[in-house]
A and B are shown apart, each in its own frame.
Chain A
């Protein structure tokens, strides 16, 4: 999986979420729309946060929702959701969240390339805001494709 290969179906822009659970479920629906997972995966992503806290908010304004590999993951994939209003997840430093990424993988190995790509994108601290304010999928892709040298 590479970022430039993501289908349009996994991008949801300007979604409204009443709370963090709703935001994670919207990202789960995007994974289903992209054929990445079945419905059950969204609830497992919610459970990870219920169990371990809001550590998935890994940078200001940015959450990386995920759960362990499981039968509900059809293939490796990523969804990108932007929220019309930022949502509080309960992280001590990085709230509120305006961009939710949802990652699903079939095994613990093999997804390193896309994570290195994500690191390339978000090492630039302006990337989250640029994605949050994008009004078209093309504009989001432009940010994701900004820097992808030799991953």
Chain B
């Protein structure tokens, strides 16, 4: 299981998303690799990903993918992350 946390510059926001997604997965008792990546590294990182987490602003930069694209509004809201990851992975 691989999850991508996607961001424009590959530092900062995607790393926060990764930290909080890991906390949400721990709540759900699900094990997964979460990789933070920027737009430059996205195509390679997303090849074998099941889920892509991104901000509403960044969805348009995601090209064709077989992964579930999950839009996260509040990167710090563990309830939102848990709810949306549970649906995507359920």
Contact = CB atoms under 8 A, between A and B. Distances in A.
B16 A119 contact: yes
A123 B8 CA distance: 22
A33 interface: no
A111 B11 CA distance: 9
B61 interface: yes
A115 B16 contact: yes
Nearest to B36: A108
Interface in B1-39: 7-13, 15-17, 19-20, 23, 38-39
Contacts of A112: 15, 19
B86 interface: no
B11 A123 contact: no
Contact of B74 (A52, A54, A93): A93
A76 to B, nearest CB: 10
Contacts of B58: 52-53, 55
A64 B73 CA distance: 14
Interface residues of A, number: 32
Contacts of B20: 119, 123
Contact of A55 (B11, B55, B77, B78): B55
B68 interface: no
26 contacts: A48-B9, A51-B8, A52-B8, A55-B8, A55-B55, A58-B74, A58-B75, A59-B75, A59-B77, A64-B13, A64-B16, A66-B13, A92-B73, A94-B73, A94-B74, A103-B11, A105-B11, A105-B12, A108-B10, A112-B19, A115-B15, A115-B19, A119-B16, A119-B19, A119-B76, A123-B76
